Chains A and B, each alone.
Chain A
Amino acid sequence: MTPKKRVSMKEIEVVSDPKVIKLMMEPTRAAIIKLLSATEMTVKQLATELGKNPGTILHHIEKLKKVNLVVEVRTQQTPTGIVQRYYRARAREFRLGIKQMMETEGGVAKFAEDRLNSIVRSLAVFGIEIPESQLVEATDMLRNLIERENDLISDMPILDQKAYDRLSKQDRTDASRILRRYLLNRDPMYVELRRSWHELLRRFDRGVKL
């Protein structure tokens, strides 16, 4: 059924359901989510933007609607007679729950593991060279840090949702960033995890310049 009332758009959503994570990892669906996180669009607009058939887009939209990643915003009749629905993402930013990704079958866990390893190795370009022997420890620490961060920011408290929706994009983004930092810094567990992570980085710091 078409949703009966306008659904507020969340600033950030951490996706923790392994099935939804798997669904989001399909390239066309990932591209649709990215576009709909930025603006509301019709099937026709998405099809043009992604170079796909409207039918293909419609099937993907239906799947995304079922798992509540995408919602219908409004319906519009055009002068040509078509009746197009506008869709948008449920949140402005989606993060995949790293813990759940690790538990998901079908290559998702491998993808998450490779991604973490790749991030840790990439630090070398800035002068932090973590040796292979320490790679497992480093990726575990990073994983725990991300997991805790996701837990804390996935449900940011908003007192007045209507007022929040009325904010300009810049104000909303900047205020959200300030609040995220505040939430993270007041959590002892996160602070400890971050301290340990930074300690590890310092151990292998071969010349990060200020």
Chain B
Amino acid sequence: MSTKNANFRVLLQDLKISFKFAVKNLVSFVLGMIGVLIVTGLLIALLALFVLVPFLLLGGLTGITDLILTWVRTTQSLQGAAAFLMTLLLVTPLIAPLMVAIGALYGMGREIVESEGTTAEGIFAWYSKKFFSLAAVGMIQFLVVIVPLAVTTILLGPLSFGLEQTGWASATIATYSIYATFMSGLMSLAFPAVIDGNSILSSIKISVRLSTRYFDRVFSTWLSYLGIGTLLSFPLLAWPLAVPLSSSQVGMWTTIIAAYSIIAVLFTFFVLLPATVIGMSRIYMILISDNLSGSSEFFTESFDDDDVSIIGGD
């Protein structure tokens, strides 16, 4: 078996290394993520301003109110897919800065994978230098994962999500979850490919090519991170079913769950997300290499120390 393929030991090693580096670079990641979230928030606000200011100048506050009301009325009057697409039209440009923020994290991940360390300010260099590529790749991923939901809405119509149709709804949600997991796995190496200097389309192609060729390695790791995330959220979803509302211990459980929620959210954002970023960047680096060697196979091209020449000049 190739060193690029997966087995249980390799998977454990991949996860262990990614979490080790995520914890080791916790401060850089926390500071970097906070900084980049502020920039993202400002950018989204700026984008919104670009839309709102012309209306404010043309029609004043009434102009904006009319715009919002028209939007709401139009969306309400539209059915299923059309309403969904209208919302998508509004949401997609606003998603772009957020996608760049996530993509820029992969820049930090790459620095860690190649050199063990990173700096909080490093994320801003990736954010600005790769802005358009990361935004485009992020939007493609977003659309590929989200658009089928629109298609499902068209095919099944609003009734599929009605109470009478719970069977249909469950089947649709299950099918969509499998699809979304599969597609996100296929594209899980797109951001590392962008960071590696590839173009938008090449990055998508590389990600799909590597994920299919090394399906076991990419998907076992990707599913592990998703699985850890799901396990973390499980107590939050399960506790209302486990503790009856009439129970006298509801108050105590609420406190426990609230405390757990805070810990789970912090862990997800500041450890699990960086570990995922580091893990997928590392797997990309391993899978893309043509000339991979382990430390035991270490060799250096012979550059002679003895730099003695008997022919002078040029």
Contacts and interface: CB of A to CB of B under 8 A. Distances in A.
B77 interface: no
Given A1-B198, A76-B298, A54 B308 contact: no
A75 B309 contact: no
Contacts of A59: 125, 129
A54 B303 contact: no
Nearest to B313: A177
Contacts of B175: none
B17 interface: yes
A54 B112 CA distance: 9
B158 to A, nearest CB: 46
A78 interface: yes
A90 interface: no
Interface in B60-87: none
A73 to B, nearest CB: 7
A38 interface: yes
Contact of A54 (B114, B126, B304, B306): B114
B248 interface: no
Given A1-B206, A82-B113, A38 B303 contact: yes
Nearest to A3: B290
Contact of B114 (A1, A44, A174, A177): A44
Interface string A52-88: 0111101100100110000001111111111111001
Interface in A28-44: 38-40, 42-44
B197 A81 contact: no
A178 interface: yes
A133 interface: no
A54 B111 contact: yes
Contacts of B249: none
A44 B114 CA distance: 7
Nearest to A83: B285
A66 B282 CA distance: 22
B20 A81 contact: yes
B200 to A, nearest CB: 14
A195 to B, nearest CB: 18
B301 A84 contact: no
Contacts of B312: 177
A119 to B, nearest CB: 15
Contacts of A3: 290
Contact of B286 (A83, A88, A170, A181): A83
Interface size class of B (residues with CB under 8 A): 35 or more
Interface in B103-121: 107-108, 110-119
B303 A84 contact: no
B292 A74 contact: yes
A75 to B, nearest CB: 4
A181 B309 CA distance: 16
Interface string B144-172: 00000000000000000000000000000
B143 to A, nearest CB: 25
A70 to B, nearest CB: 12
A86 B118 CA distance: 19
Given A1-B202, A54-B111, A82 B311 contact: no
Interface of B: 3, 13, 16-17, 20-21, 107-108, 110-119, 122, 125-126, 129, 197-198, 202, 206, 282, 285-286, 288-295, 298, 300-304, 306-314
Given A44-B115, A77-B286, A83-B289, 7 more contacts: A2-B290, A43-B114, A44-B114, A65-B197, A82-B116, A85-B289, A169-B304
7 contacts: A2-B289, A6-B291, A54-B118, A55-B122, A75-B292, A82-B114, A170-B304
Interface of A: 1-6, 38-40, 42-44, 47, 53-56, 58-59, 62, 65-66, 73-85, 88, 168-170, 173-174, 177-178, 180-181
